[in-house]
């Protein structure tokens, strides 16, 4: 039984390594903007958080845009915020942070901590355990289930993206082929008309029979 539990925990640890979660800190000077792109699979949870030091006279504006170009999150003048949502249609999400400078304030640089969690990492399992009265092993099993589902969703998403790219490449190849054929036919027609014109010209000048 102990060996079985150990193997389950080891398997859960391996799966957790496959989930997407990263945090990093960067500097944002006054009057500048920085954008980051995050690939998010379909049918998965996403949680994006940010927190910033206060900068006197500056205001932090944050927007998040989905793969269709629509804004799904917008916050102005707040030094921290959270975007948590179930992503039905995946794709590239763009996170933009702007340090908006007031007219009378001196230039400054603020430190910002940005955290992106996707899939199982985006869920609060402590809160879930308290709500559903789950034991530690049950929580680990739930994490494993969600992580397996996430890996499966990501595999399907990447497979669909590959199919879309292949379809696009085939379409572009067909377009190039037909354009090449069209140019060859156009050049052949132009050459034929040019030869006829020159032949008539030389006949008119009695340079050829």
In a 13 Å sphere around the CA of 101, the CA atoms on its Cβ side amount to 14
Shared domain check, 204 and 111: no
CA 115 to chain CA centroid, nearest Å: 15
Is residue 14 included in any domain, yes or no? no
Backbone phi and psi for residue 101, each to the nearest 5 degrees, phi listed first: -95, 135
Is residue 7 included in any domain, yes or no? no
Examine the fold and report which residue of 123, 149, 166 is the final residue of a domain before the chain moves on: 123
Q: What is the pTM of this model?
A: 0.60
Q: How far apart are the C-alpha atoms of 47 and 36, rounded to whole Å?
A: 15
As a whole number of angstroms, the longest Cα–Cα distance in the chain is: 106
Is residue 10 included in any domain, yes or no? no
Helices (H), the chain: 2-18, 125-132, 136-204
Shared domain check, 161 and 130: yes
Task: Give me the residue label for tokens 């379409």.
Answer: 171
Pairing of the two strands 58-65 and 71-76 = antiparallel
Q: Answer left, alpha or beta for residue 187, where phi above 0 means left and psi between -120 and 50 means alpha.
A: alpha
Shared domain check, 129 and 105: no
Question: What is the reported pLDDT for 10?
Answer: 46
Residue (of 123, 107, 108, 110) closest to 78 by Cα position: 110
Q: Could you tell me if 35 and 94 are in contact, meaning their C-beta atoms sit under 8 angstroms apart?
A: yes
Is residue 162 included in any domain, yes or no? yes
Would you write out the chain's pLDDT as a tens digit for each of its 209 residues? Answer: 444 444 444 444 444 444 455 788 999 998 899 999 998 888 888 999 999 988 777 899 999 999 899 999 999 989 999 999 988 888 899 999 999 887 676 778 889 999 998 877 777 667 766 777 777 777 677 777 777 777 777 777 778 778 878 888 888 888 889 999 999 999 999 988 988 888 887 777 666 55
Domain range enclosing 40? 22-123
Q: Which two tokens stand for residue 165?
A: 């790219």
Is residue 16 included in any domain, yes or no? no
Residue (of 142, 107, 100, 104) closest to 123 by Cα position: 142
């Amino acid at each position: 039984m102990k060996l079985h539990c150990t193997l389950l925990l080891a398997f859960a640890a391996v799966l957790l390594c496959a989930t997407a979660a990263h945090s990093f800190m960067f500097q944002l000077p006054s009057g500048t903007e920085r954008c980051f792109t995050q690939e998010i699979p379909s049918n998965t949870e996403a949680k994006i958080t940010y927190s910033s030091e206060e900068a006197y006279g500056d205001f932090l504006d944050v927007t998040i845009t989905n793969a269709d170009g629509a804004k799904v999150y917008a916050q102005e003048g707040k030094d921290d915020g959270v975007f948590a949502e179930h992503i039905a249609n995946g794709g590239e999400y763009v996170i933009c942070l702007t340090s908006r400078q007031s007219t009378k304030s001196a230039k400054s640089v603020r430190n910002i901590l940005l955290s992106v969690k996707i899939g199982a990492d985006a869920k609060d399992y402590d809160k879930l355990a308290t709500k559903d009265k789950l034991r530690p092993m049950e929580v680990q099993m739930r994490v494993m289930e969600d992580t397996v589902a996430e890996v499966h969703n990501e595999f399907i998403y990447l497979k669909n993206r590959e199919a879309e790219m292949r379809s696009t490449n085939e379409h572009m190849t067909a377009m190039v082929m037909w354009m090449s054929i069209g140019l060859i036919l156009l050049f052949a027609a132009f050459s034929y008309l040019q030869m006829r014109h020159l032949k008539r010209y030389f006949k008119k000048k009695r340079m050829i029979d």
